[in-house]
Structure 1
């Protein structure tokens, strides 16, 4: 039986050497990459053997720009003539922790399954504040200027804090007609679910949702989950989950993520990574994770060459 076709969507902003290595491990599947528009596409990026989509946006941490970049990738993948079995969202700092055929087997044995866990936002006072309060996580000043001037970067940071401090005194009304959900930013969905997301965004109901989440915190961990959770695709998804406490690492779909959310995995973490049932590890980088990635590549090669 042929391996299922997978479209990998990669959100990247730095470390082209790491992204190049990631793409090589994801082949022969198609890889679509969004490079933060604040990043200059130099010769190193030109060596990445994947489709770097031209529709780039400046991406800001915890801002709605993450959603815009993901939607651009989703559109690029669904605009091809390839019929994909799954669409998998990754970051440039992700890497396969298990041989790719095992991921293919997961999709083959779970036809139509959307791997997107989520919890009800209203089960958590903390999660509720992420949408009930107003946040300014996108660029406030012109982004081209902020990349050149530290003074403008500092001014933007101060302005953002002042705006959010003032806005914290006001609680927004819930968006009518939607049950809000929250989960990991990285998921694997069917192309049908992906097309439903694009169709929803194009409609008036989706535009109202987009307007609401523009001022949420970490909307990429909520926007797609809310669309899927309020649709018929919820029936064939891994959500909703029981809320067990704060920490998006709990909502990992295919990813091993350290509870700190900031740890960079290295050679000393090989046993932890290989014993995990997850299919990807996040976060890794070319400077300190090379030994770990070498070991994972070797293990993947040994499995691939093993007698069937």
Structure 2
């Protein structure tokens, strides 16, 4: 069964190409979105990868992350009439399963949407502030001042914003594996609810909210398995970014049921990468 991998990348062409090379398989198609502001040379991209166009200038925490994903998905669905899932990756992911085993695992999960999700509320994922207040991506000084003033008014009045059109907020990891039919429904809903999409332009980290909210609003909600099969380690002190993995993380990675681990850096993870490669090769030979 055909699978599509969508990789978003903003640095380190060698690491990106190594990931594309690892996913070279007759049953896999790989798309890459290159951040428009990055120094990555499109001409240096692995020849088996398909480039997403247009390229979006991606800013952390803003709607540009969602926009880059939506642009990529529209191209994929236009060009690929038949496939099982899109597996969404960053260029700092590493595949822990050899391709034959990864294909078997994805076949086992073919009737599920692999989407880490929880309701955004006290007792669920308590990050309501991300959408209850205004967040501005970029803009000039006056726009930032207006955003800050609006938030001060909300706090002083005790009021909070809510999602439009009856949508119930859900959130989770921005990395997922969703079926073609589910993604077609996500794009349909995005087009059908322009007010929600405008609202999402004013929230913090909409990439960790929009897809969960739309899928859980759709007929695919019952297919969701709240597990994206990624190994990620968050610093105990709390941080906005996950830990860059190193050799000391290997045993925990090996004990997981993850299909991919992240995030890796070609320099900071230099001691871990050859160990992962050797372990992966041993799994292929088993």
Q: Same fold (TM over 0.5)?
A: yes
Q: Which TM-score band (shorter chain)?
A: 0.7 to 0.9
CA distance in 1, matches of 2:23, 2:36: 24
Q: 1:19 maps to what in 2?
A: 16
Q: Aligned match of 1:174 in 156, 160, 163?
A: 163
Q: Does residue 184 of structure 2 align to residue 195 of structure 1?
A: yes
CA distance in 1, matches of 2:146, 2:205: 17
CA distance in 2, matches of 1:183, 1:173: 18
CA distance in 2, matches of 1:215, 1:284: 30
User: Where do 1:1-308 residues align within 5 Å?
Assistant: 4-28=1-25, 29-42=28-41, 45-47=44-46, 49-123=48-122, 126-136=126-136, 138-140=137-139, 160=144, 162-169=145-152, 170=154, 171-203=160-192, 205=193, 207-239=194-226, 253-260=228-235, 261-306=241-286
Most deviating of 18-27 and 91-100: 91-100
Q: What SS does the aligned partner of 1:189 have?
A: strand
How far has the Cα of 1:193 moved from its partner?
Answer: 0.3
CA distance in 2, matches of 1:47, 1:125: 38
How far has the Cα of 1:293 moved from its partner?
Answer: 2.1
TM-score, normalized by length of structure 1?
Answer: 0.81
Ranges in structure 1 where 5+ consecutive residues have no aligned partner? 142-155, 240-251
RMSD of the alignment, in Å?
A: 2.2
How far has the Cα of 1:202 moved from its partner?
Answer: 2.0
How far has the Cα of 1:179 moved from its partner?
Answer: 1.0
For residues 219-239 of structure 1, give each alpha carbon's deviation from its aligned partner in whole angstroms, at most 9, with x where no partner exists: 000001111000110011124
How far has the Cα of 1:294 moved from its partner?
Answer: 1.9
Q: CA 1:189/1:299 → structure 2, altered by over 3 Å: closer, same or farther?
A: same
How far has the Cα of 1:132 moved from its partner?
Answer: 0.8
Provide the aligned length of Structure 1 versus Structure 2.
272
How far has the Cα of 1:20 moved from its partner?
Answer: 0.7
Q: Is the contact made by 2:17 and 2:45 (CA closer than 8 Å) also made in structure 1?
A: no
For residues 132-179 of structure 1, give each alpha carbon's deviation from its aligned partner in whole angstroms, at most 9, with x where no partner exists: 10001x2325xxxxxxxxxxxxxx7x974x555323222324313211
How far has the Cα of 1:296 moved from its partner?
Answer: 1.8
TM-score, normalized by length of structure 2?
Answer: 0.87
Q: What SS does the aligned partner of 1:176 have?
A: helix
CA distance in 2, matches of 1:288, 1:278: 21
Q: What SS does the aligned partner of 2:261 have?
A: strand
Q: CA 1:54/1:218 → structure 2, altered by over 3 Å: closer, same or farther?
A: same
Ranges in structure 2 where 5+ consecutive residues have no aligned partner? 155-159, 236-240
